[in-house]
Amino acid sequence: MTDNTPISPGGPVRLVLFLCTGNYYRSRFAEGFFNALAARVQLAWRAESRGLATEWLASNIGPVSRQTKAELAKRGVVLEHPDRYPQQVQETDLARADLVIALNEIEHRPMLSERFPGWEDRVEYWHIVDLSEAPSSEILPLLEQHVRGLVRRLGAASSAA
């Protein structure tokens, strides 16, 4: 599952944007796993990820969490840009995405409301907590299930169109 090349049979590739707080752990896992899975099933979607408050996480070591890299590797996924440091979301990122998913509604809805007024009701929210609330051995398999469900949902919607 290492080929991250998006497949677009006769149409443009659409964009899903995953948001978490620091763009270091959850959203990077979602981005990498989504892109590998979408390529594998020839879904004309691509994922990117950003953080809502990257300045809060200055203590992070390196460009992406070791748990994210390890769990993706277990699934045969290599991050397309493993050396990319976390990126702060900008309104242009939100505007160009076809679908925006914030990974924890309780955590991220207030951030969106404060930093990007009007966007908080245009985002899909999941309920994936951060490492401070649960171990990666619980969080990342749950996130994997959500991403698999999203790929199925988008595939079904593409087939119905």
Give the model's pLDDT for residue 160. Answer: 75
- Calculate the CA dihedral of residues 135, 138, 139, 140 and round it to 10 degrees: 110
* CA-angle at 41, arms to 46 and 130, nearest 5°: 55
Q: Which helix (H) or strand (E) holds 46?
A: strand 45-51
pTM: 0.91
The token pair that represents 147 in the structure block: 């991403």
Give the per-residue pLDDT at 60: 76
Characterize the bridge pairing of strands 99-102 and 14-20: parallel
Contact 21, 108 (CB under 8 A): yes
Mean pLDDT by 10 residues, the chain (161 residues): 43 94 96 97 97 83 91 94 93 98 98 97 96 92 98 89 64
DSSP secondary structure, 88-139, as one string: B--HHHHHH-SEEEESBHHHHHHHHHHHSTT-TTSSEE-B---TTTS-HHHH
Among 2.70.70.10, 3.40.50.720, 3.40.50.2300, 3.40.50.10790, what is the CATH number of 14-160? 3.40.50.2300
What are the structural domain ranges in the chain? 14-160
Host H or E run for residue 16: strand 14-20
